[in-house]
Amino acid sequence: MCGIVGYVGDKQSAPLLIEGLEKLAYRGYDSAGVAVIENGKLRIDKAKGHLEVLSERIDGGAAIQSNVGIGHTRWATHGRPSDENSHPHRSGSGRFAVVHNGIIENYVQLKAELIDKGVEFCSETDTEVIAHLLEELYDGELLSTVAKVIGRLQGSYALGILCEEHPDEIVAIRSSSPLIVGLSDAGNFIASDIPAILSHTRKIYHLENDELVLLKGDGVSIYTLELEPVLKKVEEVTWDVAAAEKGGYAHFMIKEIIEQPRALQDTISPRVDDNGEIVLDGITLTAQQLKNIKKIYIVACGSAYHVGVVGKYVLEKLTRIPTEADLASEFRYRSPLVDESTLCIIISQSGETADTLAALREAKERGARVLSIVNVVGSSIANESDDVLYTWAGPEIAVATTKAYSTQLVMLDLIALYIAKRLGRITKEEMRGLLSSIIKLPGRVEAIIESYDDRLRELAEKFKDYEHAYFLGRNVDYAVALEASLKLKEISYIHSEAYAAGELKHGTISLIEENTLVVALAGCHRLFAKTLSNIKEVKARGAYVLAVTTEDNTAIEQEADDVLYIPCTKELLMPSLEVVPMQLLGYYIALARGCDIDKPRNLAKSVTVE
């Protein structure tokens, strides 16, 4: 959830650290800090609050004369946000400094052992035990000392470490928490994510679990925990630096909403050839292996889980294989019925989501074949899957996902069609019709954005002071309601819930009263009349109803207070269109309420701890 950046080389390090941390701010944080070697001494500056507090304190880094340093933005897991709990953390003698993403699961035991030896702690964090262990196990060499410390740790971590006695070195390691290495002629970097260093280099290493890195200004060496050298291939980042910048937009979120047509096009185009065949280059499943699949699990967290709920309807309808959408945070704790005849589809934007990664490993241990849908090449989930499909959405910076959700959704549609075709469970006509509609999705999404941007600004002003909102739908409409509700609550802080419309009378309707916003998703034609009845029920109790339906369902105007019409498409693909005005609605309501849209409170972009 936090951000790490480090640099060693010819340039002044502190300004580069501040710059890198600014690029990682989208991940969510409550404090920030840097550690450098200045005039042969370890110096640490850190502060609770926005990065600007730290930056002003050190004049954007210009006040520090150093060519080596590590920086960190923290999102509290152990200990409240405070200067003391901020990273970097220092060892007792002041010799070592460490920054850490993840959680040390056995820190209580380690802390007790160190206290018994007379070590005094300055913070409430789990990370501080690492700094003191470095001191205790120091053998004169930084790399070997770090390897010994790692042998004592249990949990997930990405670490960046400085030592006063090694003023031209950084040692880093990752285990179940993302970390990359950047290579340049002017020095070398570590970072939690590519945008932190993209303005300085496109050449990177993606680190695997338990790989140690020794960075110097003139080179990078990678080792196993046994200190055996590791040879790695340099990867080239292909997307533009500008793609990770706002490009004139007020917020990353609105920029990324508007980028959805292009992201969809980039995701769809490589997967459909000139003959109308689906080509999934990342899948090696044979026809026989597909025939042996008896059950599919879609496992994910947050918005990616909502993609999975849509996917359940789509996969079962097209493939006739029983499919479950499961929360990754629950999956491995309930003894799931998974074996060699199970296909587990893992979905994650970052490819580093801790709960989702743990669920992947659980599924593999039980014999399932794992197919992942991710956006980050070389991420942990991608590397540990049997098959991987990349969404090619480009960098997504805003905490509230938009284009990642949309590209994950269309990828599941393509997977469902791919499996259905190979199992002979879809006719040529059905295949052609669905594929034709998928190809048209980018243009239809663009039309929705252009048609409703101003209208949704107006509706946002009307709804901004509502305290409660309920999203209703049936079938795939219900799946979209889950995501629409999340979009509103996470960035506007309005209390919002999503319900299957048929469940309304089983309790939820007791909450409907005057000045309650109800958003009714009614794109599912088969169930339109039933949803219309639900609209009447909430209207009778004083709710203000905003309906979303297709252009041919004008009868809804007699019941709803406002209607948003979307283009007609195949029912299974309706979620790809319905979600777009809901993203815009959430954005503009949050804007009208003055919220920090790209960095909503208490949230982080990449959830790398349980």
Q: What is the mean pLDDT of residues 163-178?
A: 92
For 461-477, write each residue's pLDDT tens digit.
999 999 889 999 989 99
Percent of residues, the chain, with pLDDT higher than 90: 65
The DSSP code for 278 is B
Q: What is the CATH number of the domain that holds 53?
A: 3.60.20.10
- Let me know whether 186 and 278 are in one domain: no
Of 2, 301, 524, 595, which is the active-site residue? Answer: 2
Range scoring the smallest mean pLDDT among 75-84, 111-120, 308-317, 412-421: 75-84
DSSP 138-162: --S-HHHHHHHHHTT--EEEEEEEE
Residue 559 sits in the same domain as residue 417 = no
Residue 87 is classified by DSSP as S
What is the arithmetic mean of pLDDT over 368-381?
A: 88
Same domain, 261 and 231: no
Is there a domain that residue 78 lies in?
Answer: yes
Mean local confidence (pLDDT), 364-389 = 89
Instruction: Examine the domain organization and report whether 89 and 211 are in the same domain.
Output: yes
Q: What is the pLDDT of residue 376?
A: 78
* Three-class SS state of 373: strand
Which of 241, 271, 303 is the endpoint of a domain? 241
Q: How far is C-alpha 412 from the chain's CA centre?
A: 17
Paired tokens of 481: 């309601």
Tokens coding 447: 């039309």
**What is the C-alpha separation between 244 and 254, in angstroms, rounded?**
13
105 and 42 housed in the same domain: yes
Is 601 inside a domain boundary? no
Paired tokens of 602: 């208490």
**Segment 520-577, tens digit of pLDDT:** 898 888 887 888 777 777 876 778 889 999 988 888 888 888 999 999 999 999 999 9
**Number of separate domains in the chain:** 3
* CATH number, position 343: 3.40.50.10490
**CB-based contacts of 321, cutoff 8 Å, min separation 6:** 293, 294, 295, 296, 315, 343, 419
For residues 156 and 12, state if they share a domain.
Answer: yes
* Residue partners of 68: CB distance under 8 A and separation at least 6: 7, 8, 9, 13, 36, 37, 162, 167, 168, 169, 170, 217
393 belongs to a structural domain: yes
Higher pLDDT, 508 or 583: 583
Q: Which residue, 512, 449, 489, is CA-closest to 586?
A: 489
Report the percentage of the chain scoring pLDDT > 70. 96
More confident residue, 105 or 603: 105
Looking at the structure, tell me whether residues 475 and 574 fall in a common domain: yes
The structure tokens listed for 356 are 């989702």
In a domain, 342, yes or no: yes
Instruction: Mark whether 2 is an active-site residue.
Output: yes
- Pairing between β-strand 235-236 and β-strand 211-216 as defined by DSSP bridges: unpaired
**323 found inside a domain:** yes
In 322-424, which residue ranges form alpha helices assigned H by DSSP? 328-331, 354-365, 380-384, 403-422
Q: At which of 208, 241, 274 does a domain end?
A: 241
Q: Is the same domain home to 228 and 259? A: no
pLDDT at 242 over 70: no
For residues 220 and 217, give the distance between their C-alpha atoms in angstroms, rounded to a whole number: 8
Tell me what the mean pLDDT of segment 385-392 comes to: 90
- Beta-carbon contacts of 2 under 8 Å, excluding residues fewer than 6 positions away, are 27, 29, 72, 73, 74, 75, 87, 100, 101, 192, 604
More confident residue, 156 or 215: 215
Q: Is residue 605 annotated as a catalytic residue, yes or no?
A: yes
The residues, ordered by sequence, that sit 6+ positions from 359 with a Cβ below 8 Å of its Cβ are: 299, 326, 328, 331, 332, 344, 346
Per-residue model confidence as pLDDT tens digits over 193-233 = 888 999 999 999 989 889 999 999 999 999 999 999 999 99
- Least confident residue range of 30-44, 125-139, 275-289, 478-492: 275-289
Mean of the per-residue pLDDT values of the chain: 90
Asked if residue 34 lies in contact with residue 14, where contact means CB atoms within 8 angstroms, the answer is: yes
- Can you tell me the distance from the alpha carbon of 9 to that of 69, in angstroms, rounded to the nearest whole number? 10
On whether residue 246 sits in a domain, the answer given is no
Q: Domain range for residue 216? A: 3-241
Instruction: Show the tokens assigned to 200.
Output: 């300085």
Q: What is the mean pLDDT of residues 297-309?
A: 95
For residues 500-507, average pLDDT: 75
Asked if pLDDT for residue 603 goes beyond 70, the answer is no
- For residue 325, is it within any domain? yes
- Which of 210, 241, 272 terminates a domain? The answer is 241
Catalytic residue among 46, 48, 487, 605: 605
433 occurs within a structural domain: no
269-273, 281-285, 416-420, 565-569: least confident range: 281-285
Find the mean pLDDT for residues 114-130: 95
3-state helix, strand, coil in the chain (%, to 5): 40, 25, 35
Residues 44 and 192 in one domain: yes
pLDDT, tens digit, for every residue of 479-488? 999 999 999 9
Encoding tokens for residue 493?
């802080």
* Residues 513 and 365 occupy one common structural domain: no
Q: Which of 25-39, 138-152, 334-348, 362-376 has the lowest mean pLDDT?
A: 25-39
User: Residue 163: beta bridge partners?
Assistant: 96
Specify the pLDDT at position 608. 47
Residues 180, 303 within the same domain: no
Query: Do 8 and 100 belong to one domain?
Result: yes
**Beta carbons within 8 Å of 344's beta carbon, 6+ residues apart:** 296, 297, 299, 338, 359, 360, 363, 364, 368, 369, 370, 371
Location of structure tokens 């679990």: 209
What gap in Å lies between CA 496 and CA 383, rounded to an integer?
Answer: 36
Q: What is the spatial distance between Cα 173 and Cα 130, in angstroms, rounded to a whole number? A: 13
